[in-house]
Amino acid sequence: MALAIMSSGGDAPGMNPAIKKFVDYAFKMGERPYLIYDGLEGLIDNKIQEASHHDVAGIVHRGGTIIRSSRSKRFFEYEYRLKAYNNLKEHGIAGLIVLGGDGSFRAMEKFSSEFALNFVGIPSTIDNDIYGTEYCLGVDTALNVIRDALDKIRDTASSFNRAFLVEVMGRNCGYLTIVSAMVSGAEVCVIPELEFDYEKEGERLRKEVESGRNYILAVVSEGAKQTSQVHTWLQESVGLETRVSILGHIQRGGNPTVRDRMMAFDFTITAVNHLLSHHNSNKMVAYQKGEFKLKEIKEVVSNRYELPQRFLDAVNFLD
């Protein structure tokens, strides 16, 4: 059987370990592995190549994805989805693994509803915002990048009577922000899921400053869209000169951590095994309570991920 793997949407650390394990494990199972380059755009343009061990040698430690990725407006048009499907048939590909996030899975749900596609998704996004799974590839690496940045910023903050505001990625999900705030000992955390009480928190921080606090570390989610507001509030209401750091795409880079490499292996083996034992699958591999399970892709894209209550509660324990 010919199997293929592709990346779609934003890159995430852990994609390369997943790609290597896919090729190595496919050969071990006696199957022919293919690599699809440039994501959905490459699927349309037939950038599909049979893979060898040489293609994936020495990539486990690398961030990003060696087969590159893309977002595709063309894929929303039926004629291009048909072209993509015909490309898979041309190569005799009977099973497809997609490393991606919410947008990628929505595209594949549409694709698999129109054609006889044997598909399994592996949740791969630093945002950790995919319904049905507790973990997505890339999250641990991103958290360590953020943690390292926050630790260094705190070193500088503690040397001056200043507040430092750090904006963290995550789209409309506050997972990266709240976890980073918890592990860095931040005094302020602003996420899209909770309303931030400026008056109450301002009163608390002013008292702490009067009692000797000489710096504040604030972590703000990009999805909250309140970076400028928090900056003004820290300077004018709390009374500390404030510097802003937007970490940006640095959070997507870096060598995958041990956890992301191990999770990539387990996600991929689960996906390949499922493709080999099913012939009309539209699933996503989910990690729940320490186990890897398969979820219907329709269920995944029809629901919205919600932060665990323990993380929402944790915002109240930062002070």
Alpha-carbon span 83 to 98, nearest angstrom: 18
- Chain center to CA of 318: 25
Cβ within 8 Å of residue 19, ≥6 positions away: 5, 7, 35, 56, 59, 65, 66, 67, 99
* DSSP 8-state code for residue 238: I
Q: Residue 318 — φ and ψ, nearest 5°?
A: -80, -25
Alpha-carbon span 216 to 132, nearest angstrom: 36
Residue 285's H or E segment, with its range, is strand 282-288
Q: Please, which residues bridge with residue 164 across strands?
A: 217, 243
User: Which of these is catalytic: 38, 127, 129, 140?
Assistant: 127
Nearest one of 260, 267, 265, 213 to 240, comparing CA atoms: 213
The three-class DSSP label of residue 208 is: helix
Q: DSSP letters of 282-318?
A: EEEEEEETTEEEEEEHHHHHHS-----HHHHHHGGG-
* Rg, C-alpha atoms of the chain: 22
Asked if residue 282 lies in contact with residue 145, where contact means CB atoms within 8 angstroms, the answer is no
Torsion of CA 126, 129, 132, 136, to 10 degrees: 0
Alpha-carbon span 36 to 49, nearest angstrom: 7
**Dihedral-angle region of residue 292 (phi above 0 means left; psi in -120 to 50 means alpha; beta otherwise):** beta
Alpha-carbon span 25 to 30, nearest angstrom: 9
* Annotation marks residue 102 as catalytic: no
Tokens of 186: 């931040």
Residues classed as catalytic: 127
